[in-house]
Structure 1
Amino acid sequence: MRQDETNARSNRILFSDKDQEILRTLGHRIAEISADRINEINARNWTLLNDKKSVKPMVWINEVPWHELNVNDELTLRCQQPWARSLEDEMKKTIYQWNHFRGDMVVNPYMESPLAITSTGFGIEEDAACVATDQANDVVSRHFKIQITEPEDIDKIKMPVIAHDIAKTEETFAAMNEIFSGILPVKKVGRKHIWYTPWDYLVRWWGVQEAILDLILRPDMVHDIYERMVQAWMREMDQLETLNLLSLDNNNTRIGSGGYGYTTELPGTEYDSSHVMAKNMWGCSNAQIFSTVSPEMHWEFAVEHDLKWLERFGLTYYGCCEPLDIKMDVLRRIPNLRKVSASPWNNSAKIIDAIGSDYVISRKPNPVIVAGNTFDQCQAEKDLREFMDLTDKSCHVELIFKDISTVRYDPRRLWEWEKTAMRVAEDYTR
């Protein structure tokens, strides 16, 4: 055997015939699902929403407690090889969601093979003591060890270095083509969307109370450290662009804390299909820890810095859990803003009036509705209708049910919520 043949074999991902059979069976099911015309209809309606020409509120569910949802072994993994097992997990979750709480989801008629991209990170690792009420749940309480206390600690934040392991990328791509040959095409996919949220990192290193107090006590220190984080993200994006590691996200990619990114406005006129740039994509930002700060401070210590990042993109999404009902004057200073998060912590009337028809309203219904001792479907519907009744026909709304830490091991709560939301959305179709 020649040396190159030996190397080729040693670089293969090895899996058993049984593992391959399991994955191929799932692949056939994914192919069936993706061929359903409802995917085309949903994709068109997401496009109309994000183009601000919506015909209906769009419904999508994510961030769910998968460990509580296994019914009739639908999520039980059978593969043995770790890589195959991970792929099986991803595919079974897609099929499960389609079967039970699909909302307006879209399933691709192909499999994605991710580029093997690594980053050295920001130089500081989260150090936290965790307390869990359910050992199977990755949603836990954390007490963070403070690592930023003085201005000099800015030096702890490093500029990330991006690398692409081409051999690993090809190894994965070859394995997926071998498995899904004759069933589904396989496409290489780079970084599709970046969850840019410097404050989420900083409060884990700085401390929540400490960081908020320093907005007043040591504002110069806050500006310097936050700007350092912004520049770290900018450096990372520079490398992703230079190395040609980005992929378009105007598809069924989640954007910010909201729904899909379908839109006719991206990738834009300045687009080279062989080299995706940030300007062809969606950007996002948020400052969840700023729930209680004034609009002026939100601008000064977050959005004003973030503009350097956000201006690189074609369109942007802003917000997550933080209430933004009194901060729209700040957000309107983002030139390419398209979608705004409307978490349950907003005054509904105020946030709807402030956003109007100028942007997409990314509504987040309160997940507590499925987390109590019982599930009140009538109340779930009442909550949805009360919000939608405050909108008018000019508003563009997506209903994104997320941050669901528990359904009390009763997955049917989620299924029933989805049916309720889809019925409500139908009633508000134009």
Structure 2
Amino acid sequence: MRQEEIQLLRELAKEKLQISMDEKNLENRELWICTNDLHMKKPPVYIDEICWNEMNVDQELTLQTEDEFCRKLELELRKEIYLWKHMPGNMVVNPYIDCPVTVRGGEFDDAFGISESVTTVQADKTSAIKSRHFNIQIRGEKDIEKIMDPVVTVDEKDTSDKLEKMQTIFGDILDVRLCGERGKWFTPWDYLIRLTGVEPVLYDLIERPEYIKALVRRFTDASLKLMEQYNELGLWASNNNNTRVGSGGYGYTDMLAAPEGLDRNASAKQLWGCGNAQIFSTVSEEMHWEFSLEEEIRWMSHFGLNYYGCCEPLHYKMNILKKIPNLRKISASPWCRIRQMAEMAGKDYVMSCKPSPAIFSGGSFHEETARRDVRKILEESQGCSIEIVLKDLSTVDYKPQNLWRWNEIAREEIDRMYG
């Protein structure tokens, strides 16, 4: 690290610290707590999964450091400052920065001894969005044994090196917190279809049901072995903070242990868990339970609160969702019937309502359409606790100002209805 790089990062850290002192952070934190604890004052707004390749206005996101470690830190800081400036929703900025423990073998993509083999097509070379063709590696029961139990280790040297560097850069400006993993995205079928393909699985639900049950059971067994090692190594960290939970917004709540002192060695009962089965969008409630949710619960039952769902419509599956232990939030995707879900959810759950991001593509952004979409969600969910989450932003047609304006429109509509 060159001295000029360190100095640049320090200036960004000072800007982050200044933002963290804004009283809006406390107000927003309280909004999230009230919503997640089922006595919502007004719906909080969260914007995520952003097409950052289209966001760079006036070089605000242009990296100036060259060292790889410095560039990662610079990008993280610039994105957070950018969000606060242009489309904050109800974000909260911390007066500290996390230094994650380096974990080997803990990511589902490579933890089980078999990784996806994929062919990709990328329309926009500046974008991370790709079309994928998965080359099938699991075709039947004999192939299930390819899924191995994970072996999780902590790279102490890399962790120590990162911590020392970050303390050198930020130590007298921001508190540097060594932390474990703030929850884990548990979605068996998001992983398994990369090995089996999507269409074969949907046929096999009918033609080879025992094979499908054995496959998802093996994945869950292996995942629970991973959980055991996370427990033994003290790798869980509290996500009762401004950590995104599942496919929704922040995890702030008074229903879990306070996060102070839980940056390592937290128990799963002190965390939010999550699950989903996106490829089961058109599968019946009974089959969803039999071939996915019954196994997912084996994981989610370990957590203090749970979030369920992502892009799949869940309004007609509320009966099985209510069987999830400690379920608190349910995804209400753009394909969900909000009014129907609201009638089933009542005051018992948070609905994570997601306007369609398609409004930003193809030159189709119209303010009145955006306003109508948000207003419809607010009107059809009255009497429930909800959050509004705008995500899956593959493109905004390189017009980030439309996204900034959506942020303003959402807040205007919420204030109109809730004051």
Please classify the TM superposition score into its range, dividing by the shorter chain length. over 0.9
Counterpart Cα distance in 2 of 1:377 and 1:273: 42
Relative to structure 1, is the Cα distance of residues 24 and 388 closer, same or farther in structure 2, using a 3 angstrom cutoff?
same
Q: Displacement of 1:267 after TM fit?
A: 2.2
Aligned-partner residue type, residue 301 of structure 2 = E
Q: Matched residue of 1:398: which SS?
A: strand
Counterpart Cα distance in 2 of 1:268 and 1:22: 34
Counterpart Cα distance in 1 of 2:262 and 2:197: 43
Q: Matched residue of 2:228: which SS?
A: helix
Q: Matched residue of 2:418: which SS?
A: coil
Q: Give the corresponding residue for 2:288.
A: 298
Counterpart Cα distance in 2 of 1:77 and 1:272: 33
Q: Does structure 1 residue 176 correspond to structure 2 residue 162?
A: no
5+ residue gaps, structure 2: none
Q: Matched residue of 1:129: which SS?
A: strand
Counterpart Cα distance in 2 of 1:396 and 1:235: 35
Residue number among 9, 18, 22 corresponding to 1:32 in the alignment: 18
Q: Is the 8 A contact 2:237 2:262 kept in 1?
A: no
Q: Is the 8 A contact 2:189 2:279 kept in 1?
A: yes
Counterpart Cα distance in 2 of 1:191 and 1:323: 29
The 5 Å alignment of 1:86-97 reads 86-97=72-83
Q: Give the corresponding residue for 1:100.
A: 86
Q: Displacement of 1:268 after TM fit?
A: 7.9
After TM superposition, where is structure 1 displaced by more than 3 Å over at least 4 residues in a row?
A: 271-274
Aligned-partner residue type, residue 103 of structure 1 = G
Q: Give the corresponding residue for 2:372.
A: 382
Residue number among 382, 391, 403 corresponding to 1:402 in the alignment: 391
Q: Is the 8 A contact 2:149 2:225 kept in 1?
A: yes
Q: Give the corresponding residue for 2:215.
A: 225
Q: Is the 8 A contact 2:180 2:264 kept in 1?
A: no
Q: Is the 8 A contact 1:295 1:326 kept in 2?
A: yes
Q: Is the 8 A contact 2:188 2:296 kept in 1?
A: no
Residue number among 315, 329, 354 corresponding to 1:364 in the alignment: 354
Counterpart Cα distance in 1 of 2:263 and 2:176: 18
Q: Does structure 1 residue 19 correspond to structure 2 residue 5?
A: yes
Q: Displacement of 1:424 after TM fit?
A: 1.3
Counterpart Cα distance in 1 of 2:264 and 2:101: 15
Counterpart Cα distance in 2 of 1:428 and 1:45: 16
Counterpart Cα distance in 2 of 1:99 and 1:211: 45
Q: Does structure 1 residue 419 correspond to structure 2 residue 385?
A: no
Q: Does structure 1 residue 163 correspond to structure 2 residue 149?
A: no
Q: Is the 8 A contact 1:267 1:314 kept in 2?
A: no
Identity %: 43
Counterpart Cα distance in 2 of 1:231 and 1:426: 47
Aligned-partner residue type, residue 393 of structure 2 = I
Q: Matched residue of 2:41: which SS?
A: coil
Counterpart Cα distance in 1 of 2:360 and 2:166: 37
Residue number among 253, 276, 280 corresponding to 1:286 in the alignment: 276
Q: Is the 8 A contact 2:329 2:351 kept in 1?
A: yes
Relative to structure 1, is the Cα distance of residues 272 and 181 closer, same or farther in structure 2, using a 3 angstrom cutoff?
closer
Q: Is the 8 A contact 1:111 1:187 kept in 2?
A: yes
Q: Give the corresponding residue for 1:4.
A: none
Provide the aligned C-alpha RMSD in A.
Answer: 1.4
The 5 Å alignment of 1:24-423 reads 24-119=10-105, 121-267=111-257, 275-392=265-382, 394-423=383-412
Q: Matched residue of 1:60: which SS?
A: strand
Aligned-partner residue type, residue 63 of structure 1 = E
Q: Is the 8 A contact 1:285 1:319 kept in 2?
A: yes
Counterpart Cα distance in 2 of 1:266 and 1:299: 27
Q: Displacement of 1:216 after TM fit?
A: 0.6
Q: Matched residue of 1:428: which SS?
A: helix
Q: Is the 8 A contact 2:179 2:263 kept in 1?
A: no
Q: Matched residue of 1:265: which SS?
A: coil
Relative to structure 1, is the Cα distance of residues 277 and 381 closer, same or farther in structure 2, using a 3 angstrom cutoff?
same
5+ residue gaps, structure 1: 1-14
Q: Is the 8 A contact 1:268 1:314 kept in 2?
A: no
Please give the TM-score of this superposition, normalised by the length of structure 1: 0.94
Point out the more displaced range, 339-348 or 369-378: 369-378
Counterpart Cα distance in 1 of 2:277 and 2:122: 25
Q: Matched residue of 1:172: which SS?
A: helix
Aligned-partner residue type, residue 163 of structure 2 = F
Q: Matched residue of 1:137: which SS?
A: coil
Aligned-partner residue type, residue 119 of structure 2 = A
Task: Map Cα deviations across residues 134-174 of structure 1 (whole Å, 9 max, x no partner).
Answer: 01111111111011111101011111111101121111111
Q: Is the 8 A contact 1:28 1:183 kept in 2?
A: yes
Counterpart Cα distance in 2 of 1:377 and 1:148: 47
Relative to structure 1, is the Cα distance of residues 373 and 332 closer, same or farther in structure 2, using a 3 angstrom cutoff?
same
Task: Map Cα deviations across residues 40-61 of structure 1 (whole Å, 9 max, x no partner).
Answer: 1111110111000110011010
Counterpart Cα distance in 1 of 2:264 and 2:50: 35
The 5 Å alignment of 1:4-15 reads 15=1
Please give the TM-score of this superposition, normalised by the length of structure 2: 0.97
Task: Map Cα deviations across residues 57-80 of structure 1 (whole Å, 9 max, x no partner).
Answer: 110100010000000000000001
Counterpart Cα distance in 2 of 1:246 and 1:354: 33
Counterpart Cα distance in 2 of 1:232 and 1:376: 47
Q: Is the 8 A contact 2:236 2:264 kept in 1?
A: no
